[in-house]
Structure 1
Amino acid sequence: MKQADPAVAGPQAAIQWRRVLTLTVSQGLSLTGDYVLLVALGWTAVQLGGAGAITTLMLAGTIPRALTLIFGGAAADLLGPRFVLLRTTSARVLLLAGGAVVTLTTGWFWPLVVIAALEGVLLGLASPSSSSLMPRLASGDQLARANSLFAMVTRIAPIVGSPIGAWMIATGELWHVMAAVSVTCAISFVGVTVVTRGMTGGTRTPGENLLRRSGDGLRLLRTYGRLRWLFICAFCLDMAFGWPIDVALPLLVDGRGWGVASVAVVVVAFSSGALAAGALGALLAHRIPLVVRLVVSGAGIGIGILLMALMPSVVALATVGAAVGLMAGLNGPAIVTVYQQASPKARIGTAMSMLTLASIGTTPVSIVVFGALSAVIGITATWLVCGLVALAAPVAAVLALRQPVPTEEPVPTEEPAATDATPAPATGRDPGPSSVAPAPVAPGPEGADERAERPLAAAGLGT
């Protein structure tokens, strides 16, 4: 048995910082590589076939990912996150290395579609397992800090990765990009190997199989009121964000004659607010009341979206955008942590697959629905409708917190393999998700002490 990590030893140690930081850095590097690849693939598709080609490529990555998320959650629960992540990550390394060879020897478009589809399948299988790791490394109030730190890194990844991808494809070839991203995946593989060493495997009862367990996500939402309302909360926010940010912002700015640079100013302001909130959460999330992080911030997002449609100047729009980003940076980690802590330990992979599916699936729906509505009532009026949709999120959050904390049968634990942390003292919280190899994580509260982070769902090939 390993020696306890001195950085986390002691009765108050409810977080394994060494593993949390290893996971965050390795996954953040991998996600940055994914954005490098996303930009490079998109630009190559445009050169090969225009708008139709890039649409085909994005759908090839997104649809398989959404479909396999359901099976990914069941696989995480049945086989364990370590089993799934080591195999999917190593498969991605081989896929991207092979893709580099293919793109070096041919300039055809369709091999890129095959690579994007396989990448989507692997990411869909891996996402629920990845989302189930953090609750095994932190418990109680500390889970909010860990999730906030991870959320901050996921927001930095596109800011860093996108320009690198543009530079690499402008100065080099696509095979250079694929080879480089295969290296970032290899580093992620090493990180996952270290972080998941000694973790328990999955849980299986007689007669269960992957196909039967794949339907557990909807059953969980139907059975657990808290999960259901948190799912609705996340869905409303993602639905309200999709069209305004991706489509309406450039149209709004252009219609008011502010120039394209104004779009960048607003996006940077929003991102800065979100990053500041992520840093604040990583340091102090455990000291900020849950109602502020989950309910008040949700209301702030809705009000902010409403105000953005009415701002008379770029400065005012950017200021409100920064405030919305700040609220989103608090709210996102709050949703996921509460959701993680309310999920049955033996079904946390399946539960997280539903939350990720909500995020991935809502953006195209938002663009289609609100895009059609804007053709009828106009950009500003539709933006206001989005704000009203967002205001439904804090209502759903309140209803979620009013639901009883689910109880569940204990999940068998294995002999501790790495006692990096001691369980946090029980404080009447919701049972925390499955324990890491050390000792079982102490139950975490859920009525006044929940926390969260919403998994970032990157479009197309993003992790």
Structure 2
Amino acid sequence: MQESSTIDWRRVAFLVAGNALSLAGDFVLLVALGWTAVQIGGAGAVTTLVLAQTVPRALMLIFGGAIADGRGPRFVVLRATGARVVVLAAGAAVVLTVHAFWPLVVIAVLEGVMLGLASPATGAMMATLANGDQLVRANSLYSTVLRLAPIIGAPIGAWLIAVGELWQALVAGSVVCAVVFAGLLYVTSGMTRPERTGDEENLIRRSGAGFRLLAGDHRLLWLFVSAFCLDLAFGWPLEVALPLLANGRSWGVGAVGIVVATFSAGALTAGALGALLAHRIPLKLRLVASGVVMAAGIATMVLMPSVVSLAAVALLVGAMAGLNGPAVVTAYQQAAPRTSMGAAMATLALSAVGTGPVSIAAFSALSLLIGTPATWVLCGVIALAGPVAAARALRRREEPAAPRREVVEALAVS
């Protein structure tokens, strides 16, 4: 029997607003910490700071999913957010009296740990607050917030560090996290801890549940491949190849800003419309057709003869990304077992977090051999594997669910 579509809009709104505030605060801290690191140690210090946050965050995603499944999302998000309040307040006190690089590294590591722990729990909560066709509307709204956060947070961070000092930015971050904590108390009220399965203490074993799900459920596997291919194809063209292209054609740095802005505008518009109408758009269009257009757009961007035509294609690609991203997340949430939702969301999040550095390193090296245009087109070809994998996942959707029940049973006794 098909599950009825329901959504708790009040709690979804509080959850999304809280994450919007938290993410904006993250970008405030990112700019403030990064600029301070430049002043202290130059480019090498910035690289160290980025690694100090991203590596622990990627590692803790896995454990965060396992803890969310064992203790419940409420347990994880409240403790992680509360810990961030303390860490940022203590960090402000330290940097007020100590002008050195090491406090920045410690803050970045602890921030990465807390963010990695909380991320899978947030995805699991969203699947609790909404289901059926309404879940994609909630995810579209959340996706829009993710794209707005840097637009709001980065300028505030630059202003704070320009007119004040780092400790003031850290105090502001701590206050923001305290407000978010208060909102999460409401969102998670009534959420109970999952029943014990006898395996709560084996955290290392449970941390691999997301990967075992991929091995045992082909629909989840193809959805993961779809997200991975699209994420892999996006990183290098926009972050590395676009500045090279603009410089090589004497368009100037303004062209980079225009293209990135139009891409973001397309994604924001599609995400906002998706929050209203995504449940009325067929899944094949949101998941497969949008991916095909994205792949074609990526492949043809490098062939555009002017900034205007390149920006137009970027606008279309951004709009398709605004449809496709929430659709992939929603399909993944609906396919994953409820008892392993945290582990499943942690694995999916690794696709986004882990592919960026890999994309930049691999395609940068390849471009030295075959050139920037050819590598850019190749990225479009790789992106096409995303909608192909999504189509495979949709075919799996129509098959009996027995294999997934076997996976759930295997996870329960593992």
Question: Same-fold call, TM > 0.5?
Answer: yes
Q: 1:97 aligns with which of 89, 98, 105?
A: 89
Counterpart-to-counterpart distance in 2, 1:200 and 1:281: 30
Structure 1 position 204 matched with structure 2 position 196: yes
Compared CA separation, residues 294 and 12, structure 1 to 2 (3 A): closer
Compared CA separation, residues 293 and 111, structure 1 to 2 (3 A): same
Structure 1 position 276 matched with structure 2 position 285: no
Structure 1 position 124 matched with structure 2 position 128: no
Counterpart-to-counterpart distance in 1, 2:18 and 2:335: 27
Q: 1:394 aligns with which of 370, 387, 392?
A: 387
How far the C-alpha of 1:205 sits from its partner, in A, is: 1.2
How far the C-alpha of 1:203 sits from its partner, in A, is: 4.0
- Structure 1 vs Structure 2: percent identity of aligned residues? 63
Match of residue 310 from structure 2: 317
Counterpart-to-counterpart distance in 2, 1:15 and 1:405: 26
Match of residue 13 from structure 2: 21
Instruction: Pick 1 or 2: higher relative contact order, CA cutoff 8 A, min separation 6.
Output: 1
Match of residue 322 from structure 2: 329
Match of residue 193 from structure 1: 185
Code of the aligned partner of 1:177: A
Gaps of 5+ in 1: 1-10, 410-463
Q: 1:213 aligns with which of 191, 206, 219?
A: 206
Counterpart-to-counterpart distance in 1, 2:107 and 2:145: 26
Structure 1 position 150 matched with structure 2 position 142: yes
Most deviating of 374-383 and 75-84: 374-383
Q: Residue 267 of structure 2 contacts residue 320 of structure 2 at CA under 8 Å; is this kept in 1?
A: yes
Most deviating of 197-206 and 216-225: 197-206
- 1:38-437 matches, within 5 Å, as 38-208=30-200, 209-403=202-396, 404=399, 406=401
More helix by share: 2
Compared CA separation, residues 405 and 231, structure 1 to 2 (3 A): farther
Compared CA separation, residues 388 and 40, structure 1 to 2 (3 A): same
How far the C-alpha of 1:214 sits from its partner, in A, is: 1.0
Code of the aligned partner of 1:96: L
Q: Residue 5 of structure 2 contacts residue 132 of structure 2 at CA under 8 Å; is this kept in 1?
A: no
Q: Residue 76 of structure 1 contacts residue 202 of structure 1 at CA under 8 Å; is this kept in 2?
A: no
Code of the aligned partner of 1:340: Q
Alignment: residue pair count: 400
Counterpart-to-counterpart distance in 1, 2:315 and 2:336: 32
How far the C-alpha of 1:406 sits from its partner, in A, is: 3.7
Code of the aligned partner of 1:55: T
How far the C-alpha of 1:84 sits from its partner, in A, is: 0.8
Question: SS in structure 2 opposite 1:376?
Answer: helix
Q: Residue 63 of structure 1 contacts residue 120 of structure 1 at CA under 8 Å; is this kept in 2?
A: yes
Deviations 1:4-52 (A, max 9, x none): xxxxxxx987111111111111110011000110111111111111111
Gaps of 5+ in 2: 406-414
Most deviating of 197-206 and 312-321: 197-206
Code of the aligned partner of 1:45: A
Most deviating of 135-144 and 397-406: 397-406
TM-score by length of 2: 0.94
Code of the aligned partner of 1:100: A
Compared CA separation, residues 111 and 165, structure 1 to 2 (3 A): same
Q: Residue 5 of structure 2 contacts residue 133 of structure 2 at CA under 8 Å; is this kept in 1?
A: no
Deviations 1:430-459 (A, max 9, x none): xxxxxxxxxxxxxxxxxxxxxxxxxxxxxx
Counterpart-to-counterpart distance in 2, 1:369 and 1:50: 25
